[in-house]
Amino acid sequence: MTNVDHYKGTTTIGIVCKDGVVLASESRVTMGNFISSKEGKKIYQIDNLVGMTIAGGVGDAQSLVRTITVEAKLYKMRQGKPMTVGAIATLLSNILNGNRYYPYFVQLMIGGFDKNASSLYSLDAVGGQIEERLATAQGSGSPIAFGVMEDRYSEKISVDEGVELAIRALSSAMKRDSASGNDMRIVQITAKGYVEVNKDEIDKRKAALAT
């Protein structure tokens, strides 16, 4: 994630699992070649069972997080039910497309669980929307992450296995991409809720993979 160029910093990952969705990122924030923060937040909870990853301009991304979170809350208040993951992604796509001449410099993923199914969407700076049915990555470390996920992903993967795959993919990206680094942030979203995997658990799994 960078304040300068939305293609030159970060690695964010989304994995569709049979029982939910895994969202993951590292925590390095850069300005060009300068590491401006080692504790950047790149995964946000939008609703009870919906999360969003951000890459790109920090201010643009945070503004969109605030906007879409409020819209989701207002919809729930008015309709008495939550917006679907697809509806949130479409609304965000419309916002981005409506500002395409003065675009938000972002790459985003919206993932969650509704209607007893996992959903994951990728969005670009001008509102292009793709429903992802497997696993995907964004940011400068994404080519490395893709290589790991292509090799190990299965459509029958569980959320627990998805967390392990995200750790493998992020570890590889952080070793080779200078704009990706420091800590890992991982969220798993299932019918039971939105759960952030704690740092101790991530470190334990990383150590196990290294042996």
Burial class from Cβ neighbours inside 10 Å (0-12, 13-18, 19+) for residue 161 reads middle
| C-beta separation of 104 from 61 below 8 A | yes
Q: What is the CA radius of gyration of the chain?
A: 16
pLDDT at 176: 92
pLDDT of res. 148: 95
| pTM across the whole model | 0.93
Confidence grade of residue 123 (pLDDT, cut at 50, 70, 90) = very high
What is each CA distance from 65 to 54, 132, 134, 194, in whole angstroms? Answer: 9, 20, 24, 16
pLDDT band at 164 (very low <50, low <70, confident <90, very high): very high
Which helix (DSSP H) or strand (DSSP E) does residue 15 occupy?
Answer: strand 12-17
Catalytic residue among 10, 12, 84, 136: 10
Question: What value does the mean pLDDT take over residues 64-78?
Answer: 96
What per-residue string of b and e applies to 33-65 under the rule 16 or more CB within 10 Å gives b? eebeeeebbbbbbbbebbbbbbbbbbebbeebb
Which one, of 35, 8, 27, lies nearest residue 196 by Cα?
27
Residue 6 pLDDT > 50: no
Helix (H) / strand (E) element for 193: namely strand 193-196
Asked if the model's pLDDT at residue 1 lies above 50, the reply is no
Model pLDDT, residue 32: 79
Domains and CATH numbers, the chain: 12-210 (3.60.20.10)
| Tens digit of each residue's pLDDT (9 = 90 or more) over 87-102 | 999 999 999 999 999 9
Which residues fall within 8 angstroms of residue 206, CB to CB, at 6 or more apart? 167, 171, 184
**3-class SS at 62?**
helix
10 given a catalytic annotation:
yes
